[in-house]
Amino acid sequence: MQTDFAVETKDLTKVYVDFWGRPKVRAIDRLNLSINRGEIFGLLGPNGSGKTTTIKLLLGLIFPTAGEAVVLGHPPGDVATNSRIGFLPEESYLYRFLNAEETLDFYGQIFHIPRRERKRRVADLIETVGLSFARKRPLKEYSKGMSRRIGLAQALINDPDLILLDEPTVGLDPIGSREIKDLILELKKQGKTILLSSHLLADVEDVCDRIAILDKGHLQVVGEVDDLLSLKDTLEIRVRRISPELRDKIEALLRENDAELVSTEHPSRTLEDLFLKTIEETKSEDRSSPG
Amino acid sequence: MKTVAALAKHTFKDSLRKKTPLVIFFLALVLLGCLQFLPAITPDDRLKLVQVVSSKAATFFAIVVAIFLAASSIPVDIEDKTIYSVLTKPVSRLAYILGKTVGLILVTGTILLLMSLISYGVVRLVALQAAPKGLAEPLMAKIPLYASSLIHQAEGEGAAQVPPGEMAGLSGSGKMEAQWQWEGIKISDFPAEEIALQGRFLVLGRVTGGTMKFVAINPTSGQKEEALAKLKPYENFTVSFPASILAPAGALKVVASAEEPEIYFGVTLRDLFLLKKPGSFTINFLKSVVLIFLQLLVIVPIAVVGSSFLSAPVSVTFSFFIYFCSNIVELMRALAHSLTEPGTGVFGASIIGHVHGPVEIPEQTLVVKIINTILKYFIYAISYILPDFSKFAPANFLADKIDIPLRAILLLLAYALLYAASLLTVSFFIFRRREVGK
Ligand SMILES: Nc1ncnc2c1ncn2[C@@H]1O[C@H](COP(=O)(O)OP(=O)(O)OP(=O)(O)O)[C@@H](O)[C@H]1O
Ligand SMILES: [Mg+2]
């Protein structure tokens, strides 16, 4: 299968079987996806819809029942291709007895990164994911969010071209989640292709160029986020200094023209906005106050 | 290669941090400490016991650690999903298996080394305690020189060569002789004053044993020397001759005959040997550690094969079972051999008891014979597929203070490497098609 896409699947199907080989779950059913180089692609879907299964198939951790996948021009699991891939599993499954530095150093060795360069990259990445304060603590003592961060760092140790992130922001606090999203956008700027799965719609909305929605292993929707989310026949007007009379007039005008008024509340900021702002404010106060 | 090294190093580190090896290491410490208080009749016996027990304990603990770590290595990686972040990096499945194996052999080897250091210290200590009690050289390694041929002769019959491994009988009543012949003897290999012969024969007829006459003959000079030895069942004996018997160097014959009519001796080619100048105990001890290490070289890949397709508990059980069978290979062959004999085998054995007079052993019926034949060749096949671990056991060498021949170690090394290589190949082919994402 020749392809210009970073990732392409053709009728990819995965049926989980039990010990005796009897089919149990059809987790992915004839999935056709193509992910362009340099884009951020979001894989959405409710729990158990097959997101993780798709990613595992793309990595060669499990083998398809039917169909095929091409990753960076090669079949999944290809050893040479793996040196250009970064993967953050659904949960961070790393060696519990190693600390952050040792963990990253070990993965760096696997990529044959020279010692000096490795040291520099390890330090940089720990800084980037905000774990400097815990770099000497064994991972078994890490909190969920911290594990997530070190997981992300290990996925980036080889400066990969294609990054697969399975629910990257799960378990992170809002700031962490914002930081990760910024990092993802930064990676895109560096020309990397990113495939992320999530059911946190806000995350996806923020960063993805294109998304696909899976349900029970079937591809339901695929397309550009802007296209999918913008409601072309809906208009939201926000007005300051509006008088009750003007408001009555507008409502009357709408009725005359047979347009349906959906809501007239004053827009509110999201909880996330509020939380972020509060934290941001206390942070800057801390800094300015002496002692 | 670099990848394998990185994985091996990582496996080593990870295993040590998991502390499992330490638990067993402490257990070994306790056991070796207890050895100090073992009762034994003579200082020499005590020393023997300490050596045998510590060598066997070290083997046992090393093997247990090896099996637990290796048999669970891949299943635990899959269970913990740590394998995700390794196999999605440029690590081939072969490199993964090799890295694990090498790392685990290093871990268990290190544990073995530590245990051996303790054993060595304990043995030295016990030897020190034994020395004032009149034991001249408590620790040494005797270097045997085996005869090149054994000839058996009975009055009225011709002389017959006894093939290696076969036993010839010497009874005092039958005027029988056994003649061991050595060739290519170098005088410089032997002590200056006296040369010694050591041996252990099968002794039947009297529990206290019997007397045997040994005559050493130098065929070149015609010099003859006689010595008598008291032989007890299951015990080593030594007889000495003046060293002048060796000159001129080259060949030597030793003729043995039983002195008392009611005693019967069974002798084989390797039951009697000349003792060269003794070697160093420390080197021999090191060799014994190498032998145990060679066992690890085989058992780790066996457990890795198990772990490449089984779950951790099943794989541990599987590995212990294989290890157990590998220690009784000879017994399995004997069992297989007897299966098709009349009166034995599955369904074929009938109770023969309380019958006076000649007993008729029933022939096996055809069906039973077929079942037994299939079983026989099945057990035979398995006994030849399994590595023979009894060959790697150093305890008897230490107990008898016999030098472990370097040649044997090299042969066993080749044998172990061959096994390890084939096992790892098998493991790779199984693991190659295994889905590691659950
Ligand atoms: N090892 C397995 N054996 C059997 N069935 C499995 C296995 N792994 C996943 N499944 C099934 O496959 C389906 C898809 O699972 P998958 O983990 O891909 O979902 P997901 O979209 O990642 O869900 P989530 O949002 O909860 O992470 C589910 O029905 C699940 O039960
Ligand atoms: Mg999932």
Query: Average pLDDT, stretch A33-59?
Result: 91
Domain boundary among A138, A159, A180: A159
A139 shares its domain with A177: no
B237 and B261 belong to one structural domain: yes
- Is residue A284 in a domain? no
Q: Specify whether B284 is located in the same domain as B427.
A: yes
Report helix angle B93-130 to B20-35, nearest 10. Answer: 20
Residues of B in contact with A97 (CB under 8 A): 13-14, 17-18
Domain assignment present for residue A256? The answer is: yes
Q: What is the DSSP string of B255-294?
A: EEEESSTT-EEEE-GGGEEEE-S-B-HHHHHHHHHHHHHH
In this prediction, residue B39 carries a pLDDT of 64
pLDDT at A9: 93
CA distance A68 to chain B (A): 16
Q: Which of B21, B85, B267, B271 is nearest to A61 (CA)?
A: B85
Q: Are residues A120 and A71 in the same domain?
A: no
Q: What is the pLDDT of residue B412?
A: 92
Q: Are residues A12 and A146 in the same domain?
A: no
A257: its two tokens: 């023209």
Cβ-defined contact of B89 to A83 (cutoff 8 Å) = yes
Task: Among B232, B255, B275, identify where a domain stops.
Answer: B275
A48 and A64 share a domain? yes
Of B116, B19, B122, nearest to B58 by C-alpha is B116
pLDDT band at A251 (very low <50, low <70, confident <90, very high): confident
Whether residue B105 lies inside any domain: the answer is yes
Contact A99, A136 (CB under 8 A): yes
Q: Is residue A13 domain-resident? A: yes
Q: What is the number of structural domains in chain B?
A: 2
User: How far is residue A234 from each of residues A211, A240, A262, B68, measured CA to CA in Å?
Assistant: 22, 20, 9, 65
What is the Cα–Cα distance from B352 to A16, expressed in whole angstroms? Answer: 58
What's the domain range around B207? 144-275
Atom index in ligand 1 nearest the CA of residue A54 equals: 18
Rounded distance from Cα A28 to ligand 1 centre (Å)? 9
Contact B85 A93 (CB under 8 A): yes
Is residue A31's pLDDT more than 60?
A: yes
pLDDT at A273 (0 to 100) = 58
- Contact with chain B for residue A15, Cβ under 8 A: no
Residues A131, A182: one domain? no
B293 and B409, same structural domain? yes
Task: Tell me, yes or no, if A61 comes closer than 8 A to chain B by beta carbon.
Answer: yes
Q: Is residue B99 part of a domain?
A: yes
Domain with A199 in it: what CATH number? 3.40.50.300
Question: Given A110, A144, A159, which residue is the final one in a domain?
Answer: A159
On whether residue A23 sits in a domain, the answer given is yes
- Give the pLDDT score at B344: 57
Q: B157 and B227 share a domain?
A: yes
Q: What is the dihedral of CA B49, B55, B61, B66, to 10 degrees?
A: -160
- What pLDDT digit, counting tens, does each position of B15-43 carry? 888 776 676 666 667 666 766 666 656 77
Task: Name which of A95, A81, A207, A92 is nearest A152 in CA terms.
Answer: A92
Are A25 and A134 members of one domain? no
Q: Mind listing the pLDDT tens digit for each residue in A156-198?
A: 999 999 999 999 888 888 888 888 889 999 999 999 999 999 8
Q: Which residue type occupies B17?
A: R
User: From the first residue on, what is the mean pLDDT of each consecutive set of 10 residues in chain B (438 residues)?
Assistant: 90 82 68 65 77 86 91 90 92 94 94 88 81 66 88 83 87 83 87 87 84 90 89 86 85 88 87 88 92 94 92 92 90 83 55 50 73 87 88 85 89 93 94 85
Q: What is the pLDDT of residue B350?
A: 46
Instruction: Confirm or reject: Cβ of A177 under 6 Å from ligand 1.
Output: no
Q: Show the 3-state SS of A3-33.
A: CCCCEEEEEEEEEEECCCCCEEEEEEEEEEE
pTM, whole model, 2 decimals? 0.82
In the stretch 414-433 of chain B, residues with CB closer than 8 A to chain A read 433
**Whether residue B55 is found in the same domain as residue B169:** no
CATH number of the domain at B247, please: 2.60.120.260
| pLDDT exceeds 70 at position A1 | no
User: Has the ipTM of the complex gone over 0.95?
Assistant: no
> Do B156 and B52 lie in a common domain?
no
For A186-235, what is each residue's pLDDT tens digit? 999 999 999 999 877 777 777 888 988 888 888 887 888 776 666 666 66
DSSP string of B155-203, one letter each residue = TTS-EEEPPTT--EEEEGGGTEEEEEEE-S--GGGS-SSEEEEEE--EE
Of all residues in chain A, the percent with pLDDT exceeding 70 is: 85
Q: What is the dihedral of CA B82, A146, A121, A157, to 10 degrees?
A: 40
Total domains in the fold of chain A: 3
In this predicted structure, what is the pLDDT of residue A291?
A: 39
Classify B343 in phi/psi space as left (phi over 0), alpha (psi -120 to 50) or beta.
left
| A47 in contact with ligand 1, CB cutoff 6 A | yes
A122 and A34 inside one domain? no
Optimal mutation site among A82, A83, A95, A137, interface B, most CBs of chain B within 10 A? A95
Query: Which pLDDT belongs to residue B181?
Result: 92
Bridge partners for B169 per DSSP = B266
Q: Is A23 in the pocket of ligand 1 (CB under 6 A)?
A: no
**Domain membership flag for residue B345:** no
Cis bond leading into A76, ω under 30°? no
Q: B224 and B151, same structural domain?
A: yes
Asked if residue B203 and residue B102 are part of one domain, the reply reads: no
At B292 the pLDDT is: 94
Banded pLDDT at A288 (limits 50, 70, 90) = low
Contact B81 A60 (CB under 8 A): no
Radius of gyration of chain A (CA): 23
Task: Give the mean model confidence (pLDDT) for residues A40-56.
Answer: 90
Cα A198 to ligand 2 centre (Å)? 8
Name the H helices within chain A: 51-59, 79-82, 100-110, 115-128, 144-156, 174-189, 201-207, 225-229, 244-256, 271-288
A66-70, A123-127, A257-261, B143-147: range with lowest mean pLDDT = A257-261
Is the same domain home to B46 and B123? yes
CA of A62 to the centre of ligand 2 (A): 14
Ligand 1 atom 17: residue of nearest CA: A52
Token code pair at residue B214: 């040994």
Q: In this structure, are A67 and A3 located in the same domain?
A: yes
B123 in the same domain as B205: no
pLDDT of residue B367: 80
* Assigned domain for A106 exists: yes
- pLDDT on residue B95: 94
Let me know whether A76 and A180 are in one domain.
Answer: yes
Residue A279 lies in a domain: no
Instruction: Verify whether the Cβ–Cβ distance A82 to B13 is below 8 Å.
Output: no
Please tell me whether residue A223 adopts helix, strand or coil conformation: strand
| CA–centroid distance, residue A166 to ligand 2 (Å) | 7
Tell me the shortest Cα–Cα distance from A236 to chain B, in angstroms: 46
Residues A1 and A80 in one domain: yes
Is the same domain home to A64 and A33? Answer: yes
**Domain for residue A274, yes or no?**
no
B3 within 8 A of B99, measured Cβ to Cβ: yes
**Domain shared by A168 and A214, yes or no:** yes
B-chain residues near A154 (CB < 8 A): 85
Q: What is the mean pLDDT of chain B?
A: 84
Quote the domain boundaries for residue A126.
Answer: 90-159
